[in-house]
Structures are given as C-alpha cells and as structure tokens.
C-alpha cells in the first residue's frame, strides 16, 4: 500500500545539489532556506568575528570562520553558524570544502526568522554533536548568552549585556566588552 504523503528526508548529497541561488541548512533531514541577514546582524557578526580572530591569532589557538561555511555534523545535519571556532587540537576536522564534525565554539546571531530555531532545535543539535560552547547573540536585547556543554546538554554560563565584559570558558583569557559590539 502506498503512503499518500511520505515524509521525505534529505541527506548531505541532496544538500550539495540544492539550488545555488539561496543559502540552506540541513536540519534533521529538512532542507531549510536561510534569508539574507540585515545590516545590524552583519555589523555585529563582523565585529564579533574580528575580536575572535584577533584573540585566536595572537594566542595561536586555532581558526575562526563565519557564515556561510558548512559544518557537517552528520549526513542529515549541515549548519552554517554565524561564527565558528576550531582549536588547533581539532584542526583535523577542517577540510577545504567544510568542517567535518563539531567545532569547539559556535555563535548564532538571532534573527526574527531564526531565533526560535536557534534557541531550541539548534541548541539541542549542537549539544548532541558535542560542540563545547555556544553563544546566542540577541540583537533585540543587545545581550550574548554563553552556554557550555554539560552532562545534560548546554548550561547557561552567563548572559552579558550593556556595560559588561564577556568571558569564554573555552577561550581562556578572552574578554569582550559588549559596548564594543553593540
């Protein structure tokens, strides 16, 4: 008996053959189109990325990337976090085409179209695949929530706002004044 509406799941091969005129992520086998980020999103992404790159390079810790750059977590999960840090110790997951496995740290800048997914599904997905640290950057409240992987998934380390200085459990010695970002 034929199933009238079979549930279709996509794989990494399908993702690679998606139309090139749009950006996509593959989330649990669902192909999700991404909209272009707005100006404030881009500005914050560049400023955060610049601070991360400077710290990583000065301390010879690893590499920093920004979207769009694929992170292949599984055959059914391919994401493009806004910010990605891969330590020297895990550099073997970096390929010319993408990152194959869990980076040490990812950051998502919450947009109206992605905030709910970033706070729930991606938070669980990133924890499931062993990403050590996750930053959720909220443009509306001008805050950054730093989460660290624990035994039961991500645990909030702290939420930083105006006038405060962010620190990272993964990047020992890294500090960031949020006034410099927002």
Mean pLDDT of residues grouped by 10 in the chain (182 residues)?
Answer: 68 89 89 90 96 97 96 97 98 98 98 91 97 97 98 96 97 96 94
Q: What is the CATH number of the domain that holds 95?
A: 3.90.1570.10
Residues in the chain: 182
Considering its fold, how many domains does the chain have in total? Answer: 1
**Structure tokens, 99:** 């990152």
Question: What is the signed CA dihedral for 45, 50, 56, 60, rounded to 10 degrees?
Answer: 140
Residue 57 resides in a domain: yes
Count CB atoms within 10 A of the CB of residue 79: 24
Report which of 122, 127, 85 is spatially closest to residue 103, judged by C-alpha positions: 85
| Residue 136: inside a domain | yes
| DSSP-assigned states of every residue in 148-176 | EEETTEEEEEEEE-TT-EEE-SSSTT-EE
pLDDT of residue 2: 54
User: Residue 173 is part of which domain span?
Assistant: 38-180
């Amino acid at each position: 008996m034929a199933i009238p509406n079979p549930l279709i799941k996509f794989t990494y091969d399908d993702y690679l053959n998606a139309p090139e005129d749009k950006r996509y992520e593959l989330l649990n086998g669902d192909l999700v189109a991404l909209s272009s980020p707005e100006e404030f999103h881009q500005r914050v992404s560049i400023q955060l990325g610049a601070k991360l790159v400077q710290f990583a390079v000065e301390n010879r810790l690893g590499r920093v990337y920004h979207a769009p750059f694929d992170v292949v977590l599984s055959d059914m999960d391919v994401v493009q976090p806004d910010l990605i840090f891969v330590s020297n110790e895990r550099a073997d997951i970096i390929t010319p085409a993408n990152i194959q496995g869990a980076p040490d740290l990812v950051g998502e800048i919450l947009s109206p179209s992605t905030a709910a997914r970033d706070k729930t599904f991606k938070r669980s997905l990133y924890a499931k695949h062993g990403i050590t640290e996750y930053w959720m950057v909220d443009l509306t409240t001008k805050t950054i929530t730093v989460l660290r992987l624990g035994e039961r998934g991500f645990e909030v380390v702290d939420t930083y706002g105006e006038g405060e200085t962010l620190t990272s459990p993964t990047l020992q010695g890294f500090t960031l004044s949020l006034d410099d970002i927002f």
